[in-house]
Amino acid sequence: MRRLYSLLVCFVLVGLLCFGVYNTSWAATAAKHYTELQLPPLPQVKIPKYERYVMKNGMVVYLMEDHELPLVSGSAIVRTGDRFEPADKVGLAGLTGVVMRSGGTTKHTPDQLNQILEQRAAMVETGIGETAGNASFQSLSEDLQTVFGLFGEVLREPVFAQEKLDLAKTQLRGAIARRNDDPDDIASREFQKLIYGKDSPYARTQEYATLKNISREDLIKFKQQSFYPNNMILGIVGDFDSKKMRSLIQAQFADWKPNPNLVKPQLPKVSEKKQSGVFFVNQPQLTQSNILIGHLGGQFNSPDYPALDVLNGVLNGFGGRLFNEVRSRQGLAYSVSGAWSPRYDYPGMFIAGGQTRSNATVQFVRALQQEIKRIQTQNVMPKELAFAKDSTLNSFVFNFEDPGQTLSRLMRYEYYGYPSDFLFRYQKAVAATTAADVKRVARKYLKPDNLVTLIVGNQSAIKPPLTQLATQVTPIDVTIPGSPTQATRN
């Protein structure tokens, strides 16, 4: 028995040894450093076949067939946005977008709409954001006619039920009450106010008082200002026959009268409110500082945008300067980033920042400033440039992950007046970007000596004090004006 036990132990040991030798051999021959990996070239991006036409009432329509799954989805972009709402009724556009769907139609109550859609695992949604309105639907191919009919109803015949408006207001009041719970949200909100100005449509916030000013009649009026077929782009993608889809669209929207007096609204003017300064939001409960620094930026259609995006790649990511220097070498940040963030039809921002421990706040800000200056003065090394360009170009294919995403991009470019091949022009320009281009745009667009700096943190824990950054540190009061109870009466 003892001999048998010994033999079993020997077999086990030999087996383990052999396994270990085999694994070691495999690891020695198969494991490679990531720089040695040979990856195949990315596939060439091709836009799927699509059809574009304009109806007699002015509605622009895109159709893109995709028969991979028995699904159809669509969306309409409407030329509107919360930047066009009155200053004393901030929140009007968002409420219009929400209650347009939740409030039911002339033919179906909210409950009836929900029941029909739930029974078919379908969806119809609406919303209005900063620069556009949107209505969308999704359904199984077999339910397309029913769901598309409801989609048309919501677009054309919403009733804005008062009780649904009351509910939406209650939810927004709850959001206002909670808006200072997250330091990231505070930093983002207040930084926009510093750059654009607190009264700018691109920075103002809804308050209890502005919600109180909004009535059901305001929603109806706001909707009537822009929801017309000649102010809309409709796109549909999925498992359908284009000829039949055209007939369905014709039946649903051909009798929708355009607005012959419709004019493209003038965009709000943008100017840089603050061009420098250190600002502080005291949050005594925090154990770290949330920091943003930056200034006014630009638009996607700038000829220098591709080079600026390569500059973003030099600064950002696991191989970027900010990560390597501020986070890894100096150990100053939990997270750190910096990017030129443009917009389609108004100037965006250049923003850098992150989170750090309270006693490293001043050092963190100085490290960010130093890296912004360094990219203006020191040449980008060939390895850095290659990394930034490869990262940007390799992510390019993810702009076309599915036909729906591609169609959405085509619609967006038409909405903002961009050429349909804008992204491919951008791709070519990125590939042609040189180290000299990166240095040139850094010097031209970045303003390290005119940065707005915002810190959200615990004042008593920040050592050394923020006065080491500037002789004057301006406090920002984020107290929420009014109270929910005083604002509930409509």
Buried b (16+ CB within 10 A) or exposed e, 400-437: eeebbebbbbbbbbbbbebeeebbeebbebbeebebeb
For residue 5, the model assigns a pLDDT of 41
Round to whole Å and give the CA distance between 160 and 216: 7
Query: Which of 486, 461, 490, 489 minimizes the C-alpha distance to 177?
Result: 486
Find out whether 133 and 78 touch, Cβ atoms under 8 Å. Answer: yes
Residues 6+ apart with CB under 8 A from 465: 362
For residue 445, the model assigns a pLDDT of 98
DSSP annotation of 359 reads G
Domain 51-181+200-253 and domain 277-475 have a common topology: yes
The CATH number of domain 51-181+200-253 is 1.10.357.20: no
For residue 39, the model assigns a pLDDT of 60
Total residue count of the chain as it appears in this document = 490
Residue 322: phi, psi to the nearest 5? -65, -45
> Which homologous superfamily is 277-475 in?
Metalloenzyme, LuxS/M16 peptidase-like (3.30.830.10)
For residue 396, the model assigns a pLDDT of 82
Residues 6+ apart with CB under 8 A from 26: none
Round to whole Å and give the CA distance between 163 and 166: 5
Query: Which of 202, 198, 204, 367 minimizes the C-alpha distance to 291?
Result: 367
What residue ranges do the domains of the chain occupy? 51-181+200-253, 277-475
For residue 485, the model assigns a pLDDT of 63
Residues 6+ apart with CB under 8 A from 136: 73, 74, 75, 76, 123, 124, 125, 126
Buried b (16+ CB within 10 A) or exposed e, 165-201: beebbeebbeebeeebeebeebbbbbbbbbbbbeebb
Query: Which of 345, 344, 328, 327 minimizes the C-alpha distance to 336?
Result: 327
Tell me how far CA of residue 476 lies from CA of 33, 281, 368, in angstroms. Answer: 49, 5, 22
Ranges of the chain with pLDDT below 50: 1-28, 490
Angle made by CA atoms 163, 165, 170, in degrees to the nearest 5: 95
3-state SS, residue 95: helix
Buried b (16+ CB within 10 A) or exposed e, 113-149: beebbeebebebbbbbeebbbebbbbbbeebbebbbb
Round to whole Å and give the CA distance between 214 and 92: 6
For residue 28, the model assigns a pLDDT of 45
